[in-house]
Structures are given as structure tokens and as C-alpha cells.
Structure 1
Amino acid sequence: MKKFAKISAVLAAMAIAFSFAGCSDGSSGGGSDSSEITGGETSGGGTSGGSGEISKDFVKIPAVSITGSESWTPESEVFVSKRRLEIKSFWMSDHEVTQAEWKDVMGSTPSYMANVDGNPDNNPVNEVSWYDALVYCNKRSIKEGLTSCYKIKDSTDPDKWGKVPTKSDDTWNAVTCDWKANGYRLPTDAEWEWAARGGENYKYAGSDDIDDVAWYAKYEYEYDKGTREVKRKKPHGYVLYDMSGNVWEWCWDWWRENIPSDTPAEGVPSGSLRSLRGGSWCNYDNICSVDSRGIKAPSEGGNITGFRVVRSCE
């Protein structure tokens, strides 16, 4: 019954989202931990460059060994019983990729419904597909003299990949990731959830009171609003912002409802939908918890879909 209720919540959120303001997908999920945790480390560095320096708005997320015997509050669908994971330390942006950051790399922004308040340049970019996010990551890596993580058609140069697909594409789906490269990439589902919990046991990223930490649809009329400027709500324990709400965030993983206990840290090897995390401005509070998981085809964008980037520490 519990699993059925979660599936129903996913479908209900998707149905509601499509009914208002062109919103797309939603989800429900599982949670915070009781295992060994240490605080995140903020970077004192400047802008990234060929030397591999880390921008000051990146936070070093601590490594963790997950044994599969932990108790998570709220319950997790990713850190499942008997699933053993070694999550290495990594750097995560303390905010979702903004329109200004996107334009700096890509030249223009696809976003709309993104000027509710503040400067739209500081709102998270939206209307980006999973494929779009791959292109951005490698282009930003190249721009900053870093080693690109993603390879398609035996190339790390997105200009050689061809036009970004508007429907699921086998060639793009066969993308590989160099996990030791120092460039930008999407977090794995496990990395995202470990970071989102922030060393705390809250329902949302940083609080049990969603109004402290998230932009979400508190009332029905708020479905007609949009994204908000990043870093205006309270950060959580690792000093990350907007891990709950604002925009859904793409992760690397193929989505699977029941994750097998032997699934590696990079997720299941195949699928048709990619994982989204965290909820959005268009979702009610229960969809924005740290355990929340969304789903969408990698070719689809949507005005509630964005992402944040990470970099490996190796």
C-alpha cells in the first residue's frame, strides 16, 4: 500500500503540473539519515580556470560509506536496504545554474516564467532537457580549461555531437562519463540525495518548515507564478540553497521505481526516463522533500526543470 501511494503521488503531481501554467512532472519520495556525517566545506577559491581552481560558490560535500543498514528519516528510495555505496567527496554548486551562467556559456537562455521577482539573470535556468545539461557541462568545462566529463560519438566536444535531440536518441543515451575528470557534470541520484540531506534529519533541505527553505506552490494560484532568484531562502547544513523547490534538478541516473540493492553508485545501466530531484515552484510541499524523485524523458525540458552542477575532487 505504501509503494502504491507513492506511485499515485507521482502521477497526481504530474497531472496537476500539466494542468497549470504549462508545468511538467512531479514526484514523491524518501529521506534523511542517521549515519556518520560531517559538515560541508566551502571553497575559498576564485573562478575556475585551467588550474582546476574551484569557484567560491561551490561546497565540498563529504565522502560517506553507506552500508545499506541505515535508518533514513524520511525514508529513502535511493539508499535502500542492503545497497552498499561509497560516495566520494565532491564539489557541488551551492545554487542551481542561473540564467546568467547559462547565457555566459551558451549565448542565450531558453527560460520563461522566470521573472517573478528580482533579476531574471539570477533565477535558475529552466526549459532545459537532460541532453541540454550535458552540452552545458562540457561547454563550460572547455571554456574554463577543464577536462570534460561527457563523451558522445567518441568526442568530448559538444559541437561534434550534432543538434540536441528533441526526442529520445540512442546515440546520446549511450553517453559515457569520465568520473575522474575535473570538469562539470550532473550529480548522481545518490550524490544529490546525500548532499540534499545536508547532515540533518529534516523533511526538506534544511528545515521541517518548507517556508524556510523552498519556493513552492503554497496555494493553487501560485501555479501561475514561476522561478525565484536563487539563494534567497535559508541554506541547509552543507550551505546549499534551493535543494527543495524552485526548479526540479536533473541527475545523471536512469530512473527506476524499485532500485535493486546491487545497483552501483552511478545508478541502473539503462532505462527510458532520467531522474529529477527536489520539486519546484509549481509543486505542493509534499513533492519538495529531500526524498522526492521526479521522472522525465531526457529530451524534454519544461518550465519547472533545471539543474545544478558538481565537480569531482579527484
Structure 2
Amino acid sequence: MFDFLKKKPDVSSVSEAVETPRDFTNSIGMEFLYIDGGEFMMGRNPQYNEGGDVESPAHSVKLSGFWIAKYPVTQEQYFKLTRVNPSFFKNDKVEEESSRRHPVEQVSWFDAKAYVELINRYEGKTRFYALPTEAQWEYVAKAGGNTRFTFGDSEAQLDDHAVYEYSANAKTAAVGNRLPNRLGIHDLLGNVWEWCEDDFFANYNGAPSDGSPRIGGAEGESFKVRRGGSYKTGYMCLRSSFRGYSRPDFISNDIGLRLVINGDPLK
């Protein structure tokens, strides 16, 4: 798992080999990193008395490799395709020069899905870009471990990694403003919540074990999962396994989106 974190072999011993690129930038400037497939424990870590039934039972999930955006979708990237910017934190609310690099917000789950469809059409793809599944999101957040936060267990480091209640000055920040996690992914914690593909269920009973989205059923029809916390939330919402949810038509100035690619952009 996460083979690209391992020490690279001496180049002289593999002179005939061609290393697969691990980064990709698309036509509108979105940067993606490849995440090796692997197996991890999804859900609450029993070492800590937090999370409750909504993060239980902890269960093993095995995923295929995928690409994930280094940053949430920015206001500039959203505007390029939709020609609208629904965000609250723009113009006089934040420094105008940097507002285009703030995450887009006030985006419903339906808006996020429409954006996915739009970028697929724009680049001539079919079901190529997507919202992350809940399992993909948590897999990246845990980055090969099962720590409380994407960087470790102690909230003492949160100010370096997250735009949240105690470090946000009551507004979003330009993406990449804090340190990335061990995989090089920024803004997983705080700034804006990120919509996932999945319907929300009150526990993980019956959840897929292959990283696919959990969709359907009477319980899951009313709410969609969002992950990562925001500039408004306290540290408990920034835990790797924390699950938020809202109706798919709900909008707020602390909810945005991040994209994944489930194909090979280098072909």
C-alpha cells in the first residue's frame, strides 16, 4: 500500500525501467496525485472513545488505485466551466486577488454532481471524473495508517494542517494554505466540507468492502455524506473517520467539493 512512499531504487540498477508518472494536471489546471490501491480499516479506531455507532463497525475495505485532486475545487475552476461563482467568500469578503484560489462553496450535492458531468463533457470523457466515495476519502485521509487525524493522533498539530474554528478567522482560506498530509493532499481537514458520492447510513452494517459508493435503500435516500470538517468546525469534526451529512439540496458557505479520477488520465 502506498508504494510511492517507499524509498526509490537506485536509478543505475533500473536504467531500462520507465517510472509511471504519479501526477497529472488537467486542461483547467486541476492537479491530481495517484493513490496506490490497498486495504485499510474504515471507521472508528477502538483505541479512542469517540465516534460512536455512526462510525461503526470498523471494517476492512480493499480499494483499487485512483487519482485524487490535491486541492478542493477552487472558485476559479468552478467558474471556468459553469460561468457562475456561487461562493459567499469572494469580492469584499476576502482579499480579491486571492479569492479565485479559495474553495468554491455554497454548492449543493446536486450542484457538485452537475459539475462532475460538466467537466467530463468538457474533456470528452464518460464517468471519468467523479466525487470521491466515502471509502476513497477516508483511505486518503488515513494515508496508510489509522490515526485520529490525517497527520497523526495529536490535535496539537492542527493549526499547521487545518483551516478550522481556531485558526480560520471565520472564513475560508486559499487552498494549499496549510501543510498537506503524508500523501501530498491539501485541505482534507477544514476549509470546506467535501461532498462524497455516497448516501448516508447511520452505521456501516452492510457497507461495501471494495471502496464503491453505498447507494440506495430507504435509509439512504434523504441525505448525502460530506467529509473533512470546515473553517467553522471544532477539532472533533476533523478526525479521519468523522462523518457529516446533509440533504443533497442543502447549501452552505462551508461546503464544497473535491474530484477523483477513476481511470487513467495518462493514456
Which TM class, normalised by the smaller chain length?
Answer: 0.7 to 0.9
Asked whether the equivalents of residues 197 and 224 of structure 2 are also in contact (C-alpha less than 8 Å), the reply is yes
Q: Which residue of 2 aligns with 1:89?
A: 65
Asked whether the equivalents of residues 200 and 206 of structure 1 are also in contact (C-alpha less than 8 Å), the reply is no
Q: Which residue of 1 aligns with 2:118?
A: 139
CA distance in 2, matches of 1:232, 1:66: 28
Matching of residue 128 in structure 1 with residue 110 in structure 2: no
Structure 1 unpaired stretches of 5+: 1-35, 50-54, 150-182
CA distance in 1, matches of 2:4, 2:227: 22
TM-score normalised by length of structure 1: 0.67
State how many pairs are aligned: 236
State the Cα distance separating 1:64 from its structure 2 match.
Answer: 1.3
Matching of residue 214 in structure 1 with residue 162 in structure 2: yes
Cα offsets for 1:250-305 (capped at 9, x unmatched): 00111112111454532142321000100000111121121121110001111110
What does residue range 6-155 of structure 1 map to in structure 2 within 5 Å? Answer: 37-39=2-4, 43-48=22-27, 57-66=31-40, 80-81=57-58, 83-114=59-90, 115-117=93-95, 119-147=98-126, 149=127
State the Cα distance separating 1:62 from its structure 2 match.
Answer: 1.3
Change (3 A) 1:70 1:242: closer
What does residue range 243-258 of structure 1 map to in structure 2 within 5 Å? Answer: 243-258=188-203
Q: Which residue of 1 aligns with 2:227?
A: 277
CA distance in 1, matches of 2:31, 2:112: 19
TM-score normalised by length of structure 2: 0.78
Q: Which amino acid aligns with 1:187?
A: P
CA distance in 2, matches of 1:42, 1:249: 26
Partner of 1:122: helix, strand, or coil?
A: coil
CA distance in 2, matches of 1:213, 1:79: 26
Structure 2 unpaired stretches of 5+: 6-19
Identity of aligned residues (%): 27
Asked whether the equivalents of residues 73 and 202 of structure 1 are also in contact (C-alpha less than 8 Å), the reply is no
Asked whether the equivalents of residues 84 and 261 of structure 1 are also in contact (C-alpha less than 8 Å), the reply is no
